[in-house]
């Protein structure tokens, strides 16, 4: 199995009518006194018209393969995910339900929780907008995943005393997500930002803290079958047998992070081998052409995210092979792709699905 797996929206009220000269109470009303017509509400977000090939691709997608994007509030996806010209605020309110109608989208990464913990009711609202077979990938809040407290410019400045705090991780992230999303949880991801050099030099201490934090969390799979805790990193120094042992011992998994700060997909696979059998969690974040600190460059070049700029066919093919092998083995695959991977996440998802359809053999029912 290892050879196969790794070798391969609200209406506005009408304006009040202008005051006319006072009339007797029993005066007859004429047409000019009719109530002002109600304003028309903004059109609801509507799904795009999907071509036959895309529909067929969705039908052929393995049931355990959950592909999707990072967030969904992009007006530039006009014609790809939705029709018309919806605003970002419209998409924030209405877009998720439309997003989930796309033939290939069975997951989405909720990234906003990284900046502020989400409430149970917020999670419940998300869950109510998607079908039963949809699964969420959710990023943990930075208050527990950043080793350094961030300043207003987003840079880490001083040690974060809440880094990997077990109680905060549980009360501010895992428990609200479990209560609000229920069985629609796919992966709850602790994305650990780059560590300062002093901590990189004492990885055994950081690994011990990570183990304590993960071990203190509820077993997600016991509350929601198919759900998993995952850890994503931004330093290659994490990728060791000791790291894999911490994940295995605590029932967590590794989130394959395709990011310019990290080694290639192939170089990250040994950690997944050590955790097999288990689900695949992958977040394709940033094309390496922009370098490890190129997020703003990618944003500038790729916006409004309506077309591909840097297709990465080899990564698509390699990722497809891993998805196929994992799903053949009866395990879930949760793959969330950012606009910053190639320029347009919906088109990258389609490319991965096409590559998956081309993998020899039948990817598990």
Residue 21 forms part of a structural domain: no
Residue 11 forms part of a structural domain: no
What pLDDT does 43 receive? 74
Residue 68 forms part of a structural domain: yes
CA atoms within 13 A on the CB side of 45: 27
What pLDDT does 157 receive? 72
What pLDDT does 303 receive? 97
What pLDDT does 93 receive? 94
What pLDDT does 195 receive? 95
Residue 2 forms part of a structural domain: no
Which range of residues forms the domain containing residue 307? Answer: 45-357
Q: How many structural domains comprise the chain?
A: 1
d(CA 64, CA 61): 8
What pLDDT does 98 receive? 98
The structure tokens 């924030």 sit at 92
Residue 22 forms part of a structural domain: no
What pLDDT does 2 receive? 45
| Predicted model pTM | 0.87
What pLDDT does 232 receive? 98
- Supply 334's token pair: 């949760």
What pLDDT does 152 receive? 64
What pLDDT does 223 receive? 82
Residue 18 forms part of a structural domain: no
What pLDDT does 151 receive? 67
Peptide linkage before 304 cis (omega within 30 of 0): yes
What pLDDT does 155 receive? 61
Going from the first residue of the chain to its last (365 residues), give the mean pLDDT of each consecutive group of 10, the final group possibly shorter. 47 37 37 44 85 97 97 97 95 97 98 95 98 98 92 70 97 97 97 94 97 96 91 97 98 97 96 97 96 92 98 98 98 98 98 97 54
Residue 33 forms part of a structural domain: no
Residue 87 forms part of a structural domain: yes
What pLDDT does 4 receive? 54
CATH of the domain at 229: 3.20.20.410
């Amino acid at each position: 199995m290892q050879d196969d797996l790794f070798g391969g929206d609200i209406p506005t009220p009408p304006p009040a009518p202008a005051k006319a000269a006072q009339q007797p109470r029993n005066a007859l009303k004429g047409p000019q006194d009719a109530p002002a017509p109600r304003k028309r509400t903004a059109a609801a977000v509507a799904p795009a018209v999907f071509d036959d090939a895309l529909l067929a691709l969705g039908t052929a997608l393995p049931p355990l393969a959950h592909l999707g994007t990072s967030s969904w509030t992009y007006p530039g996806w006009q014609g790809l995910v939705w029709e018309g010209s919806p605003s970002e605020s419209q998409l924030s309110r209405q877009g998720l339900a439309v997003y989930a109608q796309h033939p290939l989208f069975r997951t989405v990464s909720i990234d906003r929780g990284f900046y502020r913990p989400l409430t149970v009711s917020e999670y419940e609202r998300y869950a109510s907008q998607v079908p039963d077979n949809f699964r969420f990938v959710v990023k943990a809040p930075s208050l527990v995943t950043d080793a350094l407290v961030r300043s207003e410019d987003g840079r880490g400045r001083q040690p974060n005393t809440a880094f990997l705090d077990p109680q905060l991780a549980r009360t501010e992230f895992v428990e609200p997500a479990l209560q609000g999303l229920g069985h629609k949880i796919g992966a709850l991801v602790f994305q650990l930002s780059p560590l300062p050099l002093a901590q990189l030099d004492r990885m055994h201490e950081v690994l011990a803290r990570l183990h304590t934090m993960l071990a203190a969390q509820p077993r997600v799979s016991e509350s929601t079958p198919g759900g998993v805790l995952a850890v994503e990193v931004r330093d290659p120094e994490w990728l060791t047998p000791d790291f894999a042992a911490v994940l295995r011992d605590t029932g967590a998994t590794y989130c394959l992070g395709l990011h310019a700060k990290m080694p290639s997909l192939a170089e990250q696979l040994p950690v997944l081998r050590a955790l097999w059998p288990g689900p695949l969690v992958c977040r394709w974040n940033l094309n390496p052409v922009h370098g490890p600190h190129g997020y703003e460059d990618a944003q500038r070049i790729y916006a409004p995210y309506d077309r591909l700029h840097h297709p990465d066919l080899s990564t698509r093919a390699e990722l497809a092979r891993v998805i196929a092998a994992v799903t053949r083995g009866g395990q879930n695959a949760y793959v969330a792709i950012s606009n910053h991977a190639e320029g347009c996440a919906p088109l990258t998802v389609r490319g991965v699905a096409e590559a998956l359809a081309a993998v020899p053999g039948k990817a598990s029912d």
